[in-house]
């Protein structure tokens, strides 16, 4: 199985690791910068998650990106909370301007803020304000060299002159801490299987939504188990 180096937040680390393993990847979650080069010699992708970032972890992420760039492996970014914290937005923009990023996975508010550099809708989300399609299907995003996977009731994959809308799934998926973190890692697994970045993002979104469908009983804990089980089936035939 291909090694995927994931610098994740602590809340969802185990769920992400289990999902990646089920899907056909081998998660490596080291945050020791002294072994980044050794890891990246054998890795297929790096995914960094800003969910519980602090100044020390920022330094680690920057070092990891430098190492990944050195070995030519694709880098994915999950910009958790950049629409809330100006400091997180600053970190995100530094990473985006310094490194060649393959894909970004975020919700609609995070992506809007990441693209346009500001966010001031009060307590209302972009989805509620219905500005999303008008703004994010602009030529600036569509022609981006980065592939953007934007999550919501529907997911959008946009970039490199293409876009696709992915429906399905269950609303309960939004109640699982780490579902988005897992989605980022699934894109990386698909990249390790040789898929083009855009197609890797579309497949990851479709597979995660499909894994959550048909859920009618139990709580979100049960849904997490169902997702892992279904990703295992998808992983058996992955690419």
Q: Is the Cβ–Cβ distance between 101 and 76 less than 8 Å?
A: yes
| Cβ neighbour number for residue 197 with a 10 Å cutoff | 21
**How far out from the chain centre does Cα 60 lie?**
18
Q: What range defines the domain where residue 97 resides?
A: 2-236
Neighbour tally for 163: CB within 10 Å: 17
Q: What is the CATH number of the domain that holds 108?
A: 3.40.1190.20
Q: What is the pLDDT along the chain (239 residues), one digit of tens a residue?
A: 899 999 999 999 999 999 999 999 999 999 999 999 999 999 999 999 999 999 999 999 999 999 999 999 999 999 999 988 999 999 999 999 999 999 999 998 898 888 877 655 555 555 544 555 556 666 778 888 999 999 988 899 999 989 899 999 888 888 888 899 999 999 999 999 999 999 999 999 999 999 998 766 666 778 888 899 999 988 765 54
User: How many whole angstroms separate alpha carbon 193 and alpha carbon 236?
Assistant: 12
Judged by DSSP in three states, 15 sits in: helix
In the chain, the number of structural domains is 1
């Amino acid at each position: 199985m291909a090694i995927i180096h994931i610098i994740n937040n602590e809340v969802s680390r185990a769920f992400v690791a289990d999902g990646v393993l089920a899907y056909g990847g081998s998660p490596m979650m080291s945050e020791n910068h002294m072994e980044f080069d050794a890891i990246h010699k054998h890795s297929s992708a790096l995914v960094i998650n800003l969910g519980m970032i602090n100044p020390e972890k920022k330094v680690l992420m920057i070092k990891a990106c430098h190492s990944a760039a050195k070995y030519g492996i694709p880098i994915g970014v999950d910009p958790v909370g950049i629409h809330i914290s100006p400091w997180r937005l600053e970190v995100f923009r530094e990473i985006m301007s310094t490194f060649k990023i393959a894909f970004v996975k975020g919700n609609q508010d995070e992506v809007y803020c990441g693209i346009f550099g500001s966010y001031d809708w009060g307590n209302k989300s972009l989805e509620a304000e219905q500005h999303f399609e008008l703004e994010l299907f602009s030529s600036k995003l569509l022609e981006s060299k980065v592939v953007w996977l934007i999550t919501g009731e529907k997911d959008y994959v946009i970039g490199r002159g293409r876009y696709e809308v992915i429906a399905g799934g269950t609303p309960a998926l939004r109640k699982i801490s780490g579902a988005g973190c897992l989605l980022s890692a699934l894109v990386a697994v698909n990249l390790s299987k040789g898929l083009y970045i855009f197609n890797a993002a579309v497949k990851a979104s479709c597979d995660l939504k499909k894994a959550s469908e048909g859920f009618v009983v139990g709580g979100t804990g049960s849904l997490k188990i169902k997702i892992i089980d279904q990703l295992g089936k998808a992983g058996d035939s992955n690419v």
